[in-house]
C-alpha cells in the first residue's frame, strides 16, 4: 500500500504536459519487450494446407502375378508361367471324411409299379438294414492325385465330322469372375486371391468335373454349388444353391449331383488354395457352367 | 430390447460386408462315371446264377451306353454278403475310385417267385440314392436286369433309360440279286432274337408303334407293295387300307392313333395320313415333287419329311395337318430320311455328299447341324426311346450291320445280329 501511494505522489508531481508522452513511451517499451519474446506476427495469408497433409504409404508384398480378382487387363504383363506350373503343395488330407450318420437305406416306395411278367410284380419295400453302417476308418486316405488321365479335347463335346480343325490343346480361358465382388471390399489387397490362385483352383475342379454332354438342353444346366472349406482346405459341406430346381428337374438334379461328385472326388479332396488366405476362400460359390463346352 | 436391436443393427452395419468368393468352372472332362456293380447276394444257393448274371447284364448295359465305366469286380474289396449285412464300407469303394455302387440281393418271395432287390449308392456322399425290388418268375431275370439298368441310368444321368426296350429290324441273307429279307425282333442288347415273318415275302421299313406292341412295315406280299400292321403279341398281320397307288415309308403318330406315309400315284409322290380306327386317309402335301420319309414331332403337331420340291433332296417341316412347309437344310449335298427325336430337340437325317453317306442331327429350326458318322452307305436312323442314342445300318459293300451311336457322336458300336441286318426300328420302353 505504501508503495502504491508513493507512486501516486510521484505521478502527481510530474507536470501535466509530460504525462501523455510518458504513457506512449511506456506502451512502446512494453511492445518491444513482447516482440522480443514472441517474434513479429506473420501478417501474410495462411500457408497451403496441402503442404502439411501426410501421405500414407502401405508397403505391400508383391504377389506372383496379379493381385486382383478382376479379369486380366490387356496392358498388364503376361504371367511368367502357366498356373499349372506352380508347385501345388499337397498336404496330407485330414483323416476322417465328414460322415454324418449314414442313413440306413430308406424304405423305398417305387415311383411306379413295373410290370415284369403277366402276374404283375409289385415293387416291394426292401427291409431296413439290420445294423448301422461302419464308420470310415480314420486312417483312410485318398490316393495321390490321379495321374494325368487321357487328356481329351475339352473344346468340343459334340462330335461333328464337318469340323476339320485339328484338335488343339487349349488353355483355360481367362477369368470369368468379373462379376465377382471387388477384392477391396473383402480385405486388404494383399489378402485377395491372385489370378494364378484362382486359375489353379479352377483347373483342379475342371479335372474333377464330368460334363453331362448330350443331355437335353445341357447348356441350361448351370449349377452353383456353395462350399464351406476347412482351414486345411477340405470341403466340409457342398450344397446346391438352387434347391427348388434340384427337387423339380431330374436333368438338373443329375447335373448337380455331378458337380457335387466333382468337389467330393479324391482329386479335389484337398483344394489348391493358399492357406494364408483362409478368410477369402472359407466360404465360396463354385459355378459349373457347361455352355462353353457344348 | 429396443436398444439391443438398435445396437445389433449398428454392429451389422458397421461390420464390413464379407465378399463371398465366386469361381466359375467352365471346363470339364468327358469321362464316363466310374461305377462299381457288385455281384448280388444270393440268399439261397439256387439263386447264385441270378446273383451273378443280373449284375453282368447291368454292367453290359451301362458300359454300352458309353456314359458309365463299370469297374472290374476283381478290384472290389467288400463282398456281397458283407454289403448285405453291414451296408457298403464307402472308403473301400472310394479307394477304387468308384463314384457309385450298385448292390442287390436275390431271394424268394413268400409266394414262390423270385425277388430281386437293388440299391444304388452315392459313394462320395455315402448315401443310398435309389432302390427298388421286383418280384417275377425266374425266366424274366434278363428283363429285371434291364429295368434295374434303366433305374441306375436315370438316377445318374437324369434321363430315362432305354435298356428295357427292343429293336425290330430286317434280317438279310442270300446274294445281292436274290436277297431274303425277314422281319426280326430282339432286345436292345441283341438277346432274345426271333423272326416275325417267313422268307417268302420281301419286307422293308419296319416302324414300332410308340404306344403298343405293334409294328408297321412295307411288304411285297402278293406282289404289290403295301403297308402292313403286325401285332407282335398275337402275330396277326393286317393290310393298312387299300390305296390306289404304292404306299411306303409309314410311321406312327406319337399317340399311336394315326400313321403318316407316302403314296406314289400317277407319277407323283405325296404324304398321306391315315386314322387307324376309322381307316380314313387324308392327303397332306400336294407338291409336284417327291415328298416322302415323314416323321412326327413328339407332340404330334409337326411333321418333318424329305422332298425334292426345291430342285434337290432336302428336309422340310410342316404342320401335322399339312400346309406350307419350311425348309431346314441348306448344306451341300442331299438330305434324306429325317426322324424326329422322341425328346424333340433334334432331327436325325442321312446326308449324301461327294460320294459319301453321313448320319447327322440338326435342330428343328435348322440350326446346329452335326454329322456324327460316315460310311460308304449309311441309312435307316431310328431313335432310342429316350432320344439319346441312334441305331442305323451301314453297308460296307460286303455286309450290312446294325450300329448304335450316342448323339454326341461318340460310342459307336455294332449291334450283334445272327445275320446281316438293316432298317432297325427302336421300340418304346416295354410296358
Mean pLDDT of B170-192: 88
In the predicted structure, residue A45 carries a pLDDT above the cut 70: no
In the predicted structure, residue A76 carries a pLDDT above the cut 60: no
- Identify all chain A residues contacting B126, using CB atoms and an 8 Å cutoff: 97, 99, 102, 133, 136
Pairing of strands A283-288, B21-25: parallel
Q: According to the model, what pLDDT value does residue B263 have?
A: 86
A60, part of any domain: no
- Identify all chain A residues contacting B298, using CB atoms and an 8 Å cutoff: none
Q: According to the model, what pLDDT value does residue B92 have?
A: 92
| Number of structural domains found in chain A | 1
B22, part of any domain: no
| B203 and B143 share one domain | no
| B401 and B319 share one domain | yes
pLDDT digits (tens, 9 = 90+) for B63-102: 999 899 999 999 999 999 999 888 999 999 999 989 999 9
- Identify all chain B residues contacting A212, using CB atoms and an 8 Å cutoff: 157-158
In the predicted structure, residue B311 carries a pLDDT above the cut 60: yes
Question: Which A residues 255-274 touch B at CB under 8 Å?
Answer: 255, 257, 260-262, 264-266
Q: In this structure, what CATH number is given to the domain that contains residue B129?
A: 3.40.50.10070
Least-confidence region, from A247-261, B190-204, B213-227: B213-227
| B126 and B211 share one domain | no
Question: Which B residues 316-355 touch A at CB under 8 Å?
Answer: 343, 345
Q: In this structure, what CATH number is given to the domain that contains residue B418?
A: 2.120.10.30
Q: According to the model, what pLDDT value does residue B431 have?
A: 67
- Identify all chain B residues contacting A249, using CB atoms and an 8 Å cutoff: 158
Decide if A201 touches B, using CB distance below 8 A. Answer: yes
Q: According to the model, what pLDDT value does residue B3 have?
A: 57
In the predicted structure, residue A127 carries a pLDDT above the cut 80: no
For testing the chain B interface, which of A110, A131, A216 should be mutated: the one with the most B CBs within 10 Å?
A: A216
| B143 and B232 share one domain | no
| Closest CA–CA distance from residue B192 to any residue of chain A (Å) | 16
For testing the chain B interface, which of A68, A100, A113, A117 should be mutated: the one with the most B CBs within 10 Å?
A: A117
Mean pLDDT of A116-129: 40
A165, part of any domain: no
A224, part of any domain: yes
The boundaries of the domain holding residue A242 are: 187-294
A71, part of any domain: no
Three-state SS string over chain B comes to: CHHHHHHHHHHHHHCCCCCCEEEEECCCECCCEEEEECCCEECCHHHHHHHHHHHHHHHHHHHHHCCEEECCHHHCCCCHHHHHHHCCCHHHHHHCCCCEEEEEEEEECCCCCEEEEEEEEECCCCEEEEEEEEEECHHHHHHHHHHHHHHHHHHHHCCCCCCCCEEEEEEEECCCCCCEEEEEEEECCCCCCEECCCCCCCEEEEEECCCCCEEEEEECHHHCCEEEEEECCCCCEEECCCCCCEEEEEEECCCCCEEEEEEEECCEEEEEEEECCCCCEEECCCCCCEEEEEEECCCCCEEEEEECCCCCCEEEEEECCCCCCEECCCCCCEEEEEEECCCCCCEEEEEEECCEEEEEEECCCCCCCEEEEEECCEEEEEECCCCCEEEEEEECCCCEEEEEEECCCCCCEEECCCCEEEEEEECCCCC
| B321 and B252 share one domain | yes
Band the pLDDT of A64: cuts 50, 70, 90.
Answer: very low
A209, part of any domain: yes
A181, part of any domain: no
| B144 and B249 share one domain | no
Secondary structure E strands in chain A: 223-229, 235-240, 283-288
| B250 and B388 share one domain | yes
| B116 and B182 share one domain | no
In the predicted structure, residue A106 carries a pLDDT above the cut 50: no
**Residue-averaged pLDDT of chain A:** 62
Mean pLDDT of B209-235: 82
Decide if A176 touches B, using CB distance below 8 A. Answer: yes
A-to-B residue pairs, Cβ atoms closer than 8 angstroms: 248
| B151 and B298 share one domain | no
- Closest-approach residue (CA) in chain B for A287: B24
Q: According to the model, what pLDDT value does residue B154 have?
A: 92
B12, part of any domain: no
B14, part of any domain: no
Which among B157, B177, B198 is the end of a domain? Answer: B157
Q: In this structure, what CATH number is given to the domain that contains residue A290?
A: 3.30.1150.10
B16, part of any domain: no
Which among B122, B157, B192 is the end of a domain? Answer: B157
- Name the residue facing A214 among B125, B126, B408 (closest C-beta): B408
Q: According to the model, what pLDDT value does residue B1 have?
A: 52
| B86 and B219 share one domain | no
- Name the residue facing B30 among A114, A157, A254 (closest C-beta): A157
Band the pLDDT of A42: cuts 50, 70, 90.
Answer: low
Report yes or no: B390 and B381 within 8 Å, Cβ to Cβ: yes
Q: What percent of chain B has pLDDT over 90?
A: 47
| Number of structural domains found in chain B | 2
Q: According to the model, what pLDDT value does residue B5 have?
A: 55
- Name the residue facing B24 among A176, A250, A260 (closest C-beta): A176
B18, part of any domain: no
- Give the whole-angstrom CA distance, residue B195 versus residue B168: 9
Least-confidence region, from A142-156, B4-18, B115-129: A142-156
- Give the whole-angstrom CA distance, residue B267 versus residue B289: 9
Q: According to the model, what pLDDT value does residue A24 have?
A: 87
A59, part of any domain: no
| B241 and B383 share one domain | yes
Q: According to the model, what pLDDT value does residue A212 have?
A: 73
B346, part of any domain: yes
| B175 and B152 share one domain | no
**Would residue A171 be called left, alpha or beta, if left means φ above 0 and alpha means ψ between -120 and 50 degrees?**
beta
Mean pLDDT of A51-78: 38
B3, part of any domain: no
The boundaries of the domain holding residue B100 are: 33-157
Half-sphere exposure of B282 (CA within 13 A, CB side): 11
Band the pLDDT of A67: cuts 50, 70, 90.
Answer: very low
Band the pLDDT of A250: cuts 50, 70, 90.
Answer: confident
**Residue-averaged pLDDT of chain B:** 87
Decide if A119 touches B, using CB distance below 8 A. Answer: yes
Q: According to the model, what pLDDT value does residue B202 have?
A: 83
pLDDT digits (tens, 9 = 90+) for B7-57: 555 444 444 445 688 989 988 888 888 999 999 999 988 889 989 999 999
Q: According to the model, what pLDDT value does residue B294 have?
A: 93
- Name the residue facing B117 among A126, A205, A286 (closest C-beta): A126
Q: According to the model, what pLDDT value does residue B214 have?
A: 86
- Identify all chain B residues contacting A137, using CB atoms and an 8 Å cutoff: 91
Which among B128, B157, B186 is the end of a domain? Answer: B157
Q: ipTM score of the complex?
A: 0.71
Amino acid at each position: 500500500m505504501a508503495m502504491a501511494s508513493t507512486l501516486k505522489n510521484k505521478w502527481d508531481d510530474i507536470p501535466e504536459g509530460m504525462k501523455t508522452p510518458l504513457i506512449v513511451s511506456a506502451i512502446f517499451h512494453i511492445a518491444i519487450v513482447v516482440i522480443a519474446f514472441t517474434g513479429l506476427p506473420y501478417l501474410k495469408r495462411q500457408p497451403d494446407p496441402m503442404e502439411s497433409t501426410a501421405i500414407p504409404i502401405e508397403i505391400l508384398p508383391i504377389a506372383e502375378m496379379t493381385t486382383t480378382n478382376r479379369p486380366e487387363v490387356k496392358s498388364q504383363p503376361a504371367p511368367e508361367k502357366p498356373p499349372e506350373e506352380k508347385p501345388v503343395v499337397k498336404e496330407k488330407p485330414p483323416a476322417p471324411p465328414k460322415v454324418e450318420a449314414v442313413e440306413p437305406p430308406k424304405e423305398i416306395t417305387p415311383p411306379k409299379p413295373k410290370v415284369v411278367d403277366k402276374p404283375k410284380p409289385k415293387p416291394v419295400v426292401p427291409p431296413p438294414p439290420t445294423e448301422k453302417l461302419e464308420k470310415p476308418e480314420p486312417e483312410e486316405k485318398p490316393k495321390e492325385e490321379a495321374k494325368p488321365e487321357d487328356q481329351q479335347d475339352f473344346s468340343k463335346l459334340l462330335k461333328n465330322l464337318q469340323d476339320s480343325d485339328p484338335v488343339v490343346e487349349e488353355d483355360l480361358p481367362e477369368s470369368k469372375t468379373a462379376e465377382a465382388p471387388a477384392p477391396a471390399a473383402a480385405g486388404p489387397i494383399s489378402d485377395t486371391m491372385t489370378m494364378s490362385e484362382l486359375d489353379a483352383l479352377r483347373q483342379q475342379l475342371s479335372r474333377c468335373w464330368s460334363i453331362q454332354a448330350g443331355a437335353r438342353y445341357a447348356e441350361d444346366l448351370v449349377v452353383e454349388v456353395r462350399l464351406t472349406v476347412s482351414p486345411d482346405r477340405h470341403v466340409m459341406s457342398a450344397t446346391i444353391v438352387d434347391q427348388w430346381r434340384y427337387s423339380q428337374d431330374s436333368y438338373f438334379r443329375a447335373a448337380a449331383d455331378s458337380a457335387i461328385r466333382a468337389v467330393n472326388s479324391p482329386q479335389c479332396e484337398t483344394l489348391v488354395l493358399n492357406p494364408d488366405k483362409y478368410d477369402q476362400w472359407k466360404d465360396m460359390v463354385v459355378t459349373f457352367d457347361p455352355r462353353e463346352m457344348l | 430390447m429396443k436398444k439391443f436391436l438398435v445396437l445389433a443393427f449398428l454392429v451389422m452395419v458397421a461390420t464390413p460386408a464379407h465378399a463371398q468368393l465366386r469361381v466359375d468352372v467352365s471346363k470339364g472332362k468327358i469321362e464316363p462315371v466310374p461305377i462299381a456293380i457288385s455281384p448280388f447276394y444270393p440268399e439261397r444257393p439256387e439263386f447264385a446264377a441270378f446273383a451273378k448274371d443280373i449284375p453282368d447284364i447291368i454292367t453290359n448295359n451301362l458300359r454300352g451306353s458309353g456314359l458309365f465305366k463299370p469297374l472290374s469286380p476283381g478290384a472290389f474289396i467288400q463282398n456281397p454278403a458283407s454289403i448285405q449285412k453291414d451296408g457298403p464300407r464307402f472308403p473301400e469303394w472310394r479307394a477304387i475310385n468308384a463314384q457309385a455302387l450298385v448292390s442287390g440281393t436275390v431271394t424268394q418271395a413268400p409266394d414262390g417267385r423270385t425277388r430281386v432287390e437293388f440299391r444304388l449308392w452315392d459313394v462320395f456322399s455315402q448315401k443310398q440314392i435309389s432302390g427298388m425290388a421286383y418280384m417275377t418268375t425266374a425266366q424274366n431275370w434278363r428283363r429285371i436286369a434291364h429295368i434295374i439298368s434303366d433305374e441306375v441310368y436315370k438316377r445318374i444321368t437324369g434321363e430315362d433309360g432305354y435298356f428295357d426296350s427292343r429293336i425290330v429290324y430286317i434280317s438279310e441273307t442270300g446274294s445281292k440279286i436274290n436277297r431274303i429279307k425277314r422281319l426280326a425282333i430282339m432286345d436292345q442288347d441283341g438277346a432274345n432274337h426271333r423272326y416275325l415273318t417267313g422268307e417268302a415275302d420281301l419286307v422293308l421299313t419296319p416302324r414300332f408303334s410308340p404306344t403298343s406292341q405293334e409294328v408297321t412295315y412295307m411288304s411285297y406280299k402278293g406282289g404289290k407293295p403295301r403297308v402292313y400292321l403286325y401285332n407282335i403279341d398275337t402275330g396277326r398281320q393286317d393290310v393298312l387300307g387299300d390305296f390306289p397307288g404304292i404306299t411306303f415309308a409309314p410311321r406312327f403318330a406319337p399317340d399311336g392313333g394315326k400313321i403318316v406315309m407316302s403314296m406314289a400315284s400317277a407319277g407323283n409322290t405325296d404324304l398321306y395320313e391315315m386314322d387307324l380306327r376309322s381307316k380314313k386317309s387324308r392327303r397332306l402335301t400336294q407338291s409336284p415333287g417327291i415328298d416322302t420319309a415323314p416323321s412326327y414331332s413328339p407332340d404330334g403337331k409337326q411333321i418333318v419329311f424329305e422332298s425334292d420340291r426345291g430342285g434337290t433332296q432336302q428336309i422340310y417341316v410342316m404342320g401335322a395337318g399339312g400346309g406350307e412347309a419350311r425348309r431346314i437344310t441348306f448344306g451341300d449335298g442331299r438330305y434324306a430320311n429325317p426322324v424326329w427325336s422322341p425328346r424333340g430337340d433334334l432331327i436325325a437325317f442321312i446326308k449324301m455328299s461327294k460320294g459319301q453317306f453321313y448320319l447327322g442331327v440338326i435342330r428343328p429350326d435348322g440350326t446346329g447341324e452335326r454329322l456324327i458318322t460316315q460310311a460308304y452307305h449309311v441309312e435307316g436312323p431310328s431313335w432310342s426311346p429316350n432320344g439319346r442314342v441312334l441305331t442305323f445300318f451301314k453297308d460296307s459293300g460286303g455286309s450290312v450291320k446294325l450300329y448304335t451311336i450316342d448323339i454326341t457322336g461318340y460310342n459307336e458300336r455294332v449291334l450283334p445280329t445272327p445275320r446281316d441286318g438293316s432298317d432297325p426300328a427302336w421300340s418304346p420302353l416295354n410296358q
